[in-house]
Structure 1
Amino acid sequence: MAEEGLVETHQDALLQAARFTGRYAGKVDAKGRVSIPGDFRRLLPGGTVYAFRHFSEPVLQMGPRSLLDNLLASVAGQDVYDEDRWLLEDEITEGTQALALDENGRISLPKDLREELNLTGPAAFGGRGWHFILGAEDYLNQQRSRAREAASRHRDTLRARMLPSVQAGRQQG
């Protein structure tokens, strides 16, 4: 029993440290199936991926069960009796779906999600650290261009934050 708890604790620690990074092309087939990239599958325990329709972007946020935990934690700071908190929790818990990976690493997307997010044909996966997203390839390409423009605008600030003196100050604080 104690050994089993140690394994779970070790797996939890690995998941907390897990980072979904990179960009991968995908394709949603006529049956609504899409293959999860191998690098992402390795970070999904139990052959299940949790999927949540992003609040404002036409993408699915996806990841391990901690995706649901992190989404709920994002509203946990609101007053427990605040109606908006209840509504957000409802949206998160009712809107999150656990999708099983088949033997080929594919998931089947529900038809309503595919239609709502325009997930037919070319798609793309993008790492977002503690989770990843799936969206129409054209949309993610546009977002990538906007991200590069933002990085260019903030280049000097980002460079300054990487200076050894700034890094040392963060470690001491």
Structure 2
Amino acid sequence: MSAGEGQVVERQGTRRAARFSGRFDGKLDSKGRIVVPADFRQILGAPQIHVFQSLTEPVIQCGPASLMDDLLEAVAGQDVYDEDRWALEDEITGGVQPLPIDDTGRTSLPKDFREFAKLEGPIAFAGRGWHFILATKAYLDDRRARAREAADRNRDTLRARMLPSVQAGRKP
């Protein structure tokens, strides 16, 4: 079975879309077009991609049609009458945009999205599980370096969590 949009993974009682993983370098051409990596297109399972300007970092969040639902789920824990929740829901529902992908994997990013993430020249895509991001290659290189530094600082804890006895105690 291929990993299409219809395939979901049950994890601790919540439905999750197929997982996006890996990193792929690319480029933004002079007309604002990008090529979505083939591995990610296969998981998308549709001739379109949904994009959103991240609320937390200068990247474009990308994913299947369920991207909006997943983003709304992230703010669902706030009080239903909280004005910040309303503002975030407005930003998400108004900000997620579907973009068509042609047969070669190309799509055109709107100018405001390119400007938001400071995209020009070398770009990169990085899987983040239920979605993937698009950013400058330099930004993702820096994030990777900081992640490796964090792993070095936490090596003993990470190693202990990977012990078979610890893993056996976790329920799938």
* Both proteins in one fold, TM over 0.5: yes
Asked if structure 1 preserves the Cα contact closer than 8 Å seen for 2:53 and 2:116, the reply is no
Aligned residue type for 1:11: G
The residue number in structure 1 matching 2:8 is: 13
Question: TM-score, structure 2 length as denominator?
Answer: 0.89
- More deviation in 12-21 or 70-79? 12-21
Question: TM-score, structure 1 length as denominator?
Answer: 0.88
Matched, 1:43 2:50: no
Q: What is the total number of aligned residue pairs between the two structures? A: 163
Question: Structure 2: where are the runs of 5+ without partners?
Answer: 10-14
Aligned residue type for 1:106: R
- Separation in 1 of the partners of 2:91 and 2:110? 17
Aligned residue type for 2:151: A
- Separation in 1 of the partners of 2:45 and 2:51? 14
The residue number in structure 1 matching 2:102 is: 102
- Separation in 2 of the partners of 1:23 and 1:109? 19
Deviation at residue 120 of structure 1 after TM alignment: 1.1
The residue number in structure 2 matching 1:63 is: 63
- Once the two structures are superposed, residues 84-133 of structure 1 have per-residue CA deviations (whole angstroms, 9 ceiling, x without a partner) of 11001011111111111012111100012112211111100011111100
Asked if structure 1 preserves the Cα contact closer than 8 Å seen for 2:114 and 2:120, the reply is yes
The residue number in structure 2 matching 1:84 is: 84
Give the SS at the match of 1:130: coil
Question: Structure 1: where are the runs of 5+ without partners?
Answer: 1-9
Give the SS at the match of 2:125: strand
The residue number in structure 1 matching 2:124 is: 124
Give the root-mean-square deviation of aligned CA atoms. 1.7
- Separation in 2 of the partners of 1:50 and 1:42? 14
The residue number in structure 2 matching 1:142 is: 142
More helix by share: 1
Extract structure 1 runs of 4+ deviating beyond 6 A. none
